[in-house]
Structure 1
């Protein structure tokens, strides 16, 4: 399992005055350019908020145990966190950046299943059932992750079995979303699929443009190759559809960046 060396224990985060204080000296200058805008002293706060969001109703004392056990780590782009077939030793929670879920074959072709946004927890199924991971986890852009040890998480469920209800609810919701999306893919046109993906990414990563102009920037590195991997399509097909959307002033396309101008138009296009 390949990882970068930028590492910080969560209980030390609030004492950090400068990013370089916790970077390995040999990589300090190189790594500091990749560290997310969120200051390390805020990582612990974001972790606590994220745990409350993912496990609503859990007692504060239980969440504090998970926070105290979490290991925080900053990664460079395209860092392999877990490979398919590994036994994941931790829950993964995105503090900033994004986590790519993908599968590949021996010929090197890779299909991206999803990009996991900040404050969302992942790898929960392998942690619960102990089976090997079914896909690769790889960072997408500069990313900070919280690693919550499997043993600590499972011990909380043993100590308080009633907490399992919220975990089951989460898994059911995610399974329903997967079923709905699979049904959608079987019926939608390619243009509809692209519109739906842009809406999803805009909902997860969208933010108002900082230049004061109208539109929503999808704040994640998003090349034509990335979209092609998400939709299992060729770059040529993606490029053709993006140009059509741009001509209609529905989106704007820049290098590795998409801006949505007409959300309602995308919603109409995504309908089946």
Structure 2
């Protein structure tokens, strides 16, 4: 892979697109067309993706690193919806002509993103209408995830929500090791608190309880899932 994202070749951009679940089954021709309009950009940790143009109609594929998706309340409180990693595509909702919902996308760590102009992506989809099916299925899956998350936030207990959050992060970022599945990203307690809408102190108490029960291990902002089955049971428990 080229050192500088802007220097990536057509073939390297196609390779990244092929890894993305949305495009994995696409024929060669539309993949080549999409790679021709794609633009790779580097973002340092903490950088906001659409800081210069919040209305910019571009989706992006995460080539490396990770992206935090968040919203802010009227009172200024930040709520983290998710932390996504390679090879996910985000901001696909910007395909809609209406102004996008203003999620905030920020680089969770040093990241490289492959930007896809929505006008060009729409033209490719219109030229191959069957591929709209893949977009529809992706959006349905994302909608289902949003409804589940909303249900968990409203009806689940705090330990259920923590267990479900850790299980989701393990699915997205887990790295298998001798001691269990390590979450492959730094996860400060403040970050978990923003994801659950609770204080750092509440997060600390929950993590200690999970650790004492042998479900997880915590070490310097790193979490290892030692008993994934127990974590799933907590997440699914009906009080």
TM-score by length of 1: 0.79
CA-based RMSD of the aligned residues comes to 2.1
Aligned with 1:168 (options 136, 152, 167): 136
The separation in 1 between residues aligned to 2:17 and 2:82, in whole angstroms, is 24
CA contact (8 A) 2:18 2:24 kept: no
**Cα distance, 1:147 vs structure 2:** 0.5
The separation in 2 between residues aligned to 1:85 and 1:111, in whole angstroms, is 21
List gaps (5 residues or longer) in structure 1: 1-5, 15-42
The separation in 2 between residues aligned to 1:163 and 1:96, in whole angstroms, is 25
Q: Give the number of aligned pairs.
A: 234
Q: State the Cα deviation string for residues 168-192 of structure 1 (Å, max 9, x = none).
A: 1211121122122322333211001
CA contact (8 A) 1:9 1:70 kept: no
Alignment of 1:1-272 (within 5 A): 7-11=5-9, 44=13, 46-51=15-20, 53-83=21-51, 86-105=54-73, 108-209=76-177, 213-271=178-236, 272=238
The separation in 2 between residues aligned to 1:248 and 1:133, in whole angstroms, is 40
Structure 1 residue matching 2:150: 3-state secondary structure: helix
CA spacing shift, 1:50–1:161, aligned 2, 3 Å: same
Q: State the Cα deviation string for residues 45-83 of structure 1 (Å, max 9, x = none).
A: 6413234x2135432100111112211122110111025
Structure 1 residue matching 2:46: 3-state secondary structure: coil
**Cα distance, 1:114 vs structure 2:** 0.9
Structure 2 residue matching 1:221: 3-state secondary structure: coil
**Cα distance, 1:106 vs structure 2:** 6.0
CA contact (8 A) 1:46 1:95 kept: no
CA contact (8 A) 2:17 2:23 kept: no
Q: State the Cα deviation string for residues 184-238 of structure 1 (Å, max 9, x = none).
A: 33321100100110000001100123xxx32111001101001000000100000
Structure 2 residue matching 1:259: 3-state secondary structure: strand
The separation in 2 between residues aligned to 1:168 and 1:84, in whole angstroms, is 29
Structure 2 residue matching 1:80: 3-state secondary structure: coil
